[in-house]
Amino acid sequence: MHIGKIFEKNKTAFSFELFPPKTEEASRQLFDTIKDLTPLELAYVSVTYGAGGSTRELTHDLVVRIQQETDLTVVSHLTCVGSTREEIYKILKKYHDSGIENILALRGDPPKGKEHFVPEVNGFSYAIELVEFIKECFPDMGVGVAGYSEGHPETPNRLKETEYLKAKVDAGADYICTQLFFDNRDFYDFRERCRMAGIEVPIVAGLTPITSLNLMKRMAEFAAGTRVPSGLLRAISRAENDECVKDVGVHWATEQVRDLIDNKADGIHFYTLNRSDATLQIYKSLGVTSSRKLL
């Protein structure tokens, strides 16, 4: 289903993110996770994308398998990293021919060991160019772009950041999905600034519960600029072990979800890290068994 229709039929669209497994065992575990989460009646799933050739194939294989073996709508990530326009076109055509209707268009992070992003010769320098290319070559595909509630780490000027985001929407982006955040006030401020700038597409809130101290440290690395509020840090500091840290993280995320629903968020996107337990606990804590009962 086209992502635009998903937002039309859902007051708040619930979704989750997966990344491609690299082993047969990891693949089995991932589909166990999908099986566990499917009863939640989520609107769609997204699949992350790696720049390397083998990782690209893993992404494509997973996206097609989900498309063929489940009733879930899939959004495949696509980045500008390490690809020419011709290569991007081939990837898009492969998806299009496989029935994949939606793409999350990202510039992507620099490859490991590189400090700055450098586009390929005859490649794309910015996500907006990728959005324009998708809409030009495959106008029937739905396209999402990333947003940063706490500000893009490479764009300290928040006014410019909003201008760049609006340009991506004007180029054809159908929705915005934010980087993860832990303070809903940051999301509401971001959403209000977007609306003031004339950005009217759905804005999806990206969440993940902290389930261990190690995960919190990893988040500080892969989600640059994400702020952990002092109240959450205080609660985590009182936790006696990782099981208690998980209880704290799930409780905090549950309150975020409840508040976002009450404040009419267009969507809530769970960064699941390929695990179902924390997301299922959030639903249990809210006293429901499916997304529809949250609304």
**Where in the sequence numbering do the catalytic residues fall?**
17
Compute CA distances 107 → 178, 197, 217, whole Å. Answer: 14, 22, 24
Q: Which amino acid is at 205?
A: A
Instruction: Yes or no: say if 108 and 81 are a contact pair by the CB < 8 Å rule.
Output: yes
Query: From CA 197, how far away is CA 125, in angstroms rounded?
Result: 24
Cα 161 to Cα 108: distance, rounded to the nearest angstrom: 16
Residue 145's CB is within 10 A of a number of other CB atoms, namely 25
Pairing of strands 13-18, 74-79: unpaired
Q: For the chain, what is the largest distance between any 2 Cα atoms, rounded to a whole number of angstroms?
A: 54
Cβ atoms within 10 Å, residue 278 = 20
Do 270 and 21 touch, CB atoms closer than 8 A?
A: no
Distance CA 75, CA 17 (A): 9
State the Cα–Cα distance between residues 88 and 54, nearest whole angstrom: 15
Yes or no: say if 229 and 166 are a contact pair by the CB < 8 Å rule: no
Give the separation between CA 1 and CA 6, rounded to whole angstroms: 7
Beta bridge partners of 106: 79
Q: In the chain, what are the helix, strand and coil shares in percent, each to the nearest 5?
A: 50, 15, 35
